[in-house]
């Protein structure tokens, strides 16, 4: 079902009528990001995947709220027309992390929100749950470049629960977990003791907390809320074994892509889309398939 968005409310955010209605009656709403649509996958795979993800949320009795900035207005919950225009526009939508929000809004631009910006708007709209594929983290060589995704600091300061397939091994997973600890983020893994590496269930990093049921997750989310901890929660759900890509093939693609990035001097917020794209090409598309499944 698609519904047209209302104009921005006094908080400066346009919440779609369907999302607003669900929130008002205390129904379940799941926030979804848009960088993955505009910068993470090619058209039309991105549109198919975005629509599929929204459909899965609905099948499970919740209302999806994809978040993006359209003509300078942050939108929480998109119509199918808006979703399509986002998918078709792709990279014309600016990759928008927390630091970019004010600029994209002030210039009336179009922004595809990363995990950090999506968390920010989800919280503003009163949505406590956000589902995505992979989150950003500490980049490899991050100890020199200081390239640490603002997804991690946002998790430290916004009480939203992010459910993801973990952190891709294009990043430095052990340092990402260290940084999340510093930020005070509750990190849990679902039915495993190991923090998942997105393409595979294996990272060799022990997770600080294991959960084995949705009820256990809910109890942690409740404790966080009840104590007003103010920080976020990351729940990592490993990719199903049958869909896991080969760890070795991915690692050698990552090594190649890292070298290419260095040679081309690709840095800053361009590095994640570059790495995702190169790893996809170098693995003959198997990393993209694993991303969608
Ligand atoms: N990792 C993925 N897929 C993605 C991203 C990260 O496996 O699509 C996107 C998310 O939107 C994430 C952002 O929030 O990249 C992080 O970018 P950066 O590393 O520039 O902070
Ligand atoms: Mn970065």
The C-alpha atoms of residue 36 and residue 59 are separated, in whole angstroms, by 22
Compute the half-sphere exposure of residue 61: CA atoms within 13 Å on the CB side of its CA: 3
| pLDDT at 9 > cutoff 90 | no
Ligand 1 proximal residues by C-beta, below 6 Å: 33, 35-36, 40, 97, 114-115, 133-136, 149-151, 168, 198, 269, 272, 276
Q: Write down the architecture of domain 12-132 according to CATH.
A: 3-Layer(aba) Sandwich (3.40)
What is the pLDDT of the chain when averaged over all its residues? 94
Indicate if the pLDDT at residue 289 is higher than 90.
no
Q: What's the rounded mean pLDDT across residues 155-172?
A: 96
User: Is the pLDDT assigned to residue 3 strictly greater than 50?
Assistant: no
ipTM: 0.99
Answer whether residue 52 shows pLDDT above 50.
Answer: yes
What is the spatial distance between Cα 12 and Cα 15, in angstroms, rounded to a whole number?
10
Q: Where are the domains of the chain?
A: 12-132
Which residue's CA is minimally distant from atom 16 of ligand 1?
136
d(CA 243, CA 252): 19
Q: Which of 217, 145, 209, 140 is nearest to 176 (CA)?
A: 140
**pLDDT tops 70 at residue 167:** yes
pLDDT in tens, 191-249: 999 999 999 899 999 999 999 999 999 999 999 999 999 999 999 999 998 888 777 88
Of 18, 54, 168, 201, the catalytic one is: 168
What does the pLDDT read at residue 6? Answer: 61
Assess whether 33 carries a catalytic annotation.
Answer: yes
As a whole number of angstroms, the distance between CA 199 and CA 232 comes to: 24
Give the tens place of pLDDT for each residue, 71-127. 999 999 999 999 999 999 999 999 999 999 999 999 999 999 999 999 999 999 999
Cα 81 to ligand 2 centre (Å)? 31
Distance 94 CA to ligand 2 centre (A): 15
- CA-nearest residue for atom 7, ligand 1, is 134
Read off the tokens for 157.
């300061």
Q: Please identify which of the residues 33, 54, 154, 201 carries the catalytic annotation.
A: 33
Mutate which of 69, 119, 135, 288 for ligand 1 pocket (most atoms within 8 A of beta carbon): 135
Tokens of 90: 């792709």
pLDDT of 5:
55
> For residue 131, what pLDDT is reported?
98
Nearest residue (CA) to ligand 1, atom 20: 269
Reported confidence tier of residue 1, pLDDT bands at 50, 70, 90: very low
CA of 274 to the centre of ligand 2 (A): 12
Angle, CA of 245, 151 and 164, to the nearest 5°: 40
Position 10 scores a pLDDT of 73
Confidence (pLDDT) at 11: 78
> Is the model more confident about 63 or about 10?
63
Question: In this predicted structure, what is the pLDDT of residue 2?
Answer: 43
């Amino acid at each position: 079902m698609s519904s047209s968005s209302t104009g921005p409310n006094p908080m400066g955010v346009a919440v779609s009528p369907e999302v607003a209605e669900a929130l008002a009656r205390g129904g379940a709403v799941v926030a979804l990001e848009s960088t993955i649509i505009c910068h993470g996958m090619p058209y039309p795979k991105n549109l198919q995947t975005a629509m599929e993800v929204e459909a899965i949320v609905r099948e499970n009795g919740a209302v999806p709220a994809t978040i993006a900035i359209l003509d300078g207005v942050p939108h929480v919950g998109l119509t199918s027309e808006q979703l399509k225009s986002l998918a078709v526009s792709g990279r014309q939508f600016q990759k928008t992390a927390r630091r970019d929000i004010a600029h994209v809004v002030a210039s009336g631009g179009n922004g595809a929100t990363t995990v950090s910006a999506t968390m920010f708007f989800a919280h503003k709209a009163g949505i406590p749950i956000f589902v995505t594929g992979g989150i950003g983290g500490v980049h490899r060589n991050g100890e020199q470049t200081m390239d640490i995704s603002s997804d991690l600091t946002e998790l430290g300061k916004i009480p939203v629960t992010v459910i993801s397939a973990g952190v891709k091994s294009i990043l430095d997973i052990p340092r990402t977990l260290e940084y999340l600890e510093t930020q005070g983020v509750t990190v849990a893994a679902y039915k495993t003791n190991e923090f998942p590496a997105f393409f595979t269930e294996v990272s060799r990093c022990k997770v600080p907390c294991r959960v084995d049921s949705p009820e256990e997750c809910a109890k942690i989310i409740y404790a966080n809320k009840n104590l007003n901890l103010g920080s976020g929660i990351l729940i990592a759900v490993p990719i199903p074994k049958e869909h896991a890509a080969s760890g070795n093939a991915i690692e050698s693609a990552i090594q190649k892509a890292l070298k290419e990035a260095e040679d081309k001097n690709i840095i800053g917020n361009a590095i994640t889309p570059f790495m995702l794209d190169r790893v996809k090409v170098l693995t003959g598309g198997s990393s993209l398939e694993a991303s969608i499944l």
